[in-house]
A and B are shown apart, each in its own frame.
Chain A
């Protein structure tokens, strides 16, 4: 009979676990160790209740959610992910959050962002959480080589090319940089910056003559780009070690450079092409899995994260800007002040062309990015014929869009039915 007390203790322990369970916050954001720690300490600690912040790579994140969707008792309470990631899930994985809209409706979240959160359906599948975008950064050493008459805050792609050539002529090394490595986001540069700037489109004009001219221009720009770019993930690293002087990347991936040596770098808007200055804001959202163990606790955490105070704390932790209307305090780190200014200049530029992240593609969004990366690798790295490559890729692009049924998104004009590739 000596076993009874042990068994009782075990039962008591097991029985009490659910009541004491932490809130599991599963997220594809703030993944680097340091950032995750800041997320826990700065953004989540003041919440009071214990939150278990679990950052995860997007692929694993999606696989796990898809695998667990059938189980009645999920283990995850709150999900954080980019618009494209949450949008690629089967809609039924995410619980509708329309009930939260009554309390969140008046916080100044952009209507456009809120409608993105419906993922093309009727119900609110995620709440816009935070936003960021891509900008340019340059070492101050590069500034003397700016072509004559060029305004850093209103650069064109021709001027960027001239700048890169000047730097190479002076230093003997190509010093432009793009995040074209496996972990890099060059597909966003192609989809949200290059294509819109040259064709005012991303899907419809995929193989137009404007697009051909664009690829020719990018080949020239690539000739003065550090060839190590195909290994770069986060441009802050090559900027800090001097491999690259002028770079394009996501604000969160330039953060270290601005914070570690704010006096050595400048942030500025992306260049403009013949069709304008394409730029792409990134929206991350908060969602609740349909099988969350305690839906009320999940909603409470989301409400906390959407308060202006928590949004500023999240900004400090992740460098993602608030989506609710709020005043930014003065004591923010250098990276936020610097990129904040560039982001504002970029989005308020007269020739700005707003491009949204691909939406409605669901499971096809990975393939969509592959089309643009393939075009880049074939045309720019492997020197394949531009027309031929685009003609091979265009039907594949059309096929995946047809399969997902996604209509056109900005900057493409709206379509009836799936977005057509001309």
Chain B
């Protein structure tokens, strides 16, 4: 039986090794890099450097604003979509497949698609001028129109990222025992009452994991913003990329990476605290 006792450890060893080599090691390296000053000493030099940079506050606000707008909208949309899907008897799978198509598209491709729609000679402008809504294709996706840029990124991100939330919620809804809802009906609860008092509370574990996952992804938003906003809309990830590859200052880039991680950890902590899932429901 000795053999059997060790089997689970043998089986997880490859993935542990993989995570150690490609996640833990680079992670520690970046941490060390971020806190190493340019003179080799330990300190916060890299952080003061990125904070004094002109693009720091714009990129931080843009990222947090994007996350603050995109994630709640996606959550509401995904709950709505999941409720619809679970009520369907016929064609449920087909609808799910169609809704999750954006999941299979890389974020860079998604950015290119939306740029093709929204740019001056893109589909939206051509359509609007074809039906005489506007006189000539206008370019509104530029730095003078920060709101339009932001809105374009929000729309593209919602299109691209709602499916992941949806998939988690649909599977979560499948786990809620039908008896609770039936009991509610027997006692005469309305649909809204059942939604608020039964479905959503029972769905809390799934909402929690969907929120955590989606928020982390939103904090790392990059390719879509790059395609639509370019340098007009800096975000934390684009600054990280630029400090590493354009300005070749690994320390500063690592400081950005650590900052993104700290924000992610803080927000995840909040979700765990405020969407507290009772132990027995886990």
Residue ranges of A at the interface with B (Cβ–Cβ < 8 Å)? 57, 59-60, 62-63, 88, 180-182, 226-228, 230-231, 241, 243, 363, 365-367, 369-370, 374, 377-378, 381, 403
B40-55 CB contacts (< 8 Å) to partner A: 53-55
Contacts of B244 in A (CB 8 A): 59
The listed residue (B230, B232, B247) touching A370 by CB distance below 8 A is B247
B82 CB to closest chain A CB (Å) equals 37
Contacts of A366 in B (CB 8 A): 246-249
Given that A181-B230, A228-B120, A243-B139 are contacting pairs, would A378 and B249 also be in contact in the complex, using a CB cutoff of 8 Å? no
B124 CB to closest chain A CB (Å) equals 15
* Beyond A63-B245, A227-B144, 10 additional pairs, beta carbon < 8 A: A59-B246, A60-B245, A88-B248, A182-B226, A182-B230, A228-B120, A230-B143, A231-B141, A366-B247, A378-B54
Contacts of A403 in B (CB 8 A): 38
B176-233 CB contacts (< 8 Å) to partner A: 226, 230-232
Contacts of A374 in B (CB 8 A): 53-55
The listed residue (B143, B232, B245) touching A59 by CB distance below 8 A is B245
Contacts of B144 in A (CB 8 A): 227
Contacts of A182 in B (CB 8 A): 226, 230-231
Contacts of A231 in B (CB 8 A): 141-142, 230, 232
Residue of B nearest to A381 (CB): B143
B232 and A230 within 8 A (CB): yes
Bound complex: CA A88 to CA B141 (Å): 35
Interface class of chain B by DSSP: loop
B247 CB to closest chain A CB (Å) equals 4
A230 and B248 within 8 A (CB): no
Bound complex: CA A63 to CA B245 (Å): 8
Bound complex: CA A60 to CA B53 (Å): 24
Q: How large is the interface on B (under 10, 10 to 19, 20 to 34, 35 or more residues)?
A: 20 to 34
Bound complex: CA A241 to CA B126 (Å): 14
Residue of B nearest to A241 (CB): B121
Interface class of chain A by DSSP: helix
Residue ranges of B at the interface with A (Cβ–Cβ < 8 Å)? 38, 53-55, 120-121, 139, 141-144, 226, 230-232, 244-249
Bound complex: CA A236 to CA B152 (Å): 26
25 A-B pairs (CB sep. < 8 Å):
A59-B245, A59-B248, A60-B245, A63-B245, A88-B248, A182-B226, A182-B230, A182-B231, A226-B139, A227-B144, A228-B120, A230-B143, A230-B232, A231-B232, A243-B120, A365-B248, A366-B246, A366-B248, A366-B249, A367-B249, A370-B246, A377-B54, A378-B54, A381-B143, A403-B38
Bound complex: CA A271 to CA B226 (Å): 32
Bound complex: CA A100 to CA B4 (Å): 66
B89 CB to closest chain A CB (Å) equals 48
Contacts of A230 in B (CB 8 A): 142-143, 230-232
A69 CB to closest chain B CB (Å) equals 15
B263 CB to closest chain A CB (Å) equals 24
Contacts of A226 in B (CB 8 A): 139
Bound complex: CA A63 to CA B244 (Å): 10
B115 CB to closest chain A CB (Å) equals 9
Bound complex: CA A59 to CA B144 (Å): 30
- List the 6 closest A-B pairs by CB distance, nearest first: A59-B245, A366-B247, A227-B142, A366-B248, A230-B143, A367-B247
Q: Which residue, B53, B144, B244, B246, has most C-beta atoms of chain A within 10 A?
A: B246
A383 CB to closest chain B CB (Å) equals 11
B248 and A62 within 8 A (CB): yes
Contacts of A60 in B (CB 8 A): 245
Bound complex: CA A268 to CA B141 (Å): 30
Residue of B nearest to A232 (CB): B230
B119 CB to closest chain A CB (Å) equals 8
Contacts of A180 in B (CB 8 A): 231
Contacts of A367 in B (CB 8 A): 247-249
A406 CB to closest chain B CB (Å) equals 15
Contacts of A57 in B (CB 8 A): 245
Residue of B nearest to A63 (CB): B245
B138 CB to closest chain A CB (Å) equals 10
A178 CB to closest chain B CB (Å) equals 13
Bound complex: CA A377 to CA B230 (Å): 13
A228 and B230 within 8 A (CB): no
Bound complex: CA A365 to CA B142 (Å): 28
Residue of B nearest to A229 (CB): B142
Contacts of B226 in A (CB 8 A): 182
Q: Which residue, A226, A231, A374, has most C-beta atoms of chain B within 10 A?
A: A231
Bound complex: CA A393 to CA B100 (Å): 47
B139 and A228 within 8 A (CB): yes
Bound complex: CA A403 to CA B247 (Å): 14
Bound complex: CA A241 to CA B85 (Å): 45
